[in-house]
Amino acid sequence: MAYRQERGDTLVEVLMAIVIISVVIVGAMTMMSRGLAAAQVAVEHSQVRMSVNGQIEMLRFARDSYVANPTDPSGLQWAAVIAGSNVTAITYDTSCNVTGGKQGFYMTKSGTQVTRTVYTPATPATVATPGTGMWIEAVLSPAGIQPAFVDLVIRACWQGSGAAGAQRTATAVRLYDSSR
C-alpha cells in the first residue's frame, strides 16, 4: 500500500497558493494600469507641446514677415499682435474655465499665410489645441527699452484622460521687435 504514504496537498495549501497567485496578478495588473495612465499623460503632453511649438513658429513667421514687408498679410497679423498686446494675465479656474473677461488669441495657418484669431474660451475634453483650450497672451516691453520685445505666453489647459483633474502647461517666448 504505497498510496497511503503519499500525501497530497491539503485544501488550506491549495487556497494559500491561489491567494498568493491572485495577489501577484492583481499587483501586476495595477502596475500595468498605472504605467498605461502615465504613458497616456506623456502622450497628451507631447501632443500639446507640438501644438505650442507650432504656435511659436507661426508667431515667428508673422514677425519675420512684418520685418520683411509690413504690408504682407502675415506681417499684418504681427501688427495685430502688437496692437492687442496690452493684455493682462488671463485667469482660469481649476476646471480650466477662463474667467475675468480677458481675451487671448491663437494663430492658424492657411497655405503660406498665418492669421491671428481671438480666443473664445473652450475647454477640450482631452488634448488642448489652438482655439480649444490653448491661447496666447502677449505683453509689450515697457516704453524706452531697446531693443523692444513682446513677451508671449502660450497656455494650454485640458482635462486629461490619463490623469485625474486638469492638466496645464505654459511656455513663455520673447520675440524682439526691431520695428518699434
For the purposes of burial, counting CB atoms within 10 Å of the CB of 127, is it exposed (0-12), middle (13-18) or buried (19 or more)? Answer: buried
pLDDT 10s digits, 79-131: 888 887 665 666 666 666 666 556 688 999 998 889 998 887 776 767 788 88
Average pLDDT over residues 160-165: 70
Q: Say which amino acid occupies 49.
A: R
Mean of the per-residue pLDDT values for the chain?
Answer: 84
**pLDDT band at residue 5 using 50, 70 and 90 as cut-offs:** low
pLDDT at 31: 94
What is the rounded average pLDDT of the residues 20-34? 94
SS (HEC) of the chain: CHHHCCCCCCHHHHHHHHHHHHHHHHHHHHHHHHHHHHHHHHHHHHHHHHHHHHHHHHHHHHHHHHHHCCCCHHHHHHHHHHHCCECCCCEECCCCCEECCCCCEEEEEECCEEEEEECCCCCCCCCCEECEEEEEEEEECCCCCCCCEEEEEEEEEEECCCCCCEEEEEEEEEEECCCC
Percent of the chain with pLDDT over 70: 81
* 72 touches 66 (CB < 8 A): yes
Q: Is the pLDDT of residue 28 over 90?
A: yes
Q: Grid coordinates representing 149?
A: 520685445
pLDDT at position 167, please?
84
Is the pLDDT confidence value at 168 over 90? no
pLDDT surpassing 90 at residue 38: no
pLDDT at residue 29 tops 80 = yes
Tell me the pTM.
Answer: 0.77
pLDDT of residue 92: 66
State mean pLDDT over 141-154.
87
pLDDT band (50, 70, 90) for residue 145: confident
Classify burial at 119, counting beta carbons within 10 Å of its beta carbon; exposed 0-12, middle 13-18, buried 19 or more: buried
What's the whole-number mean pLDDT along residues 53-64? 94
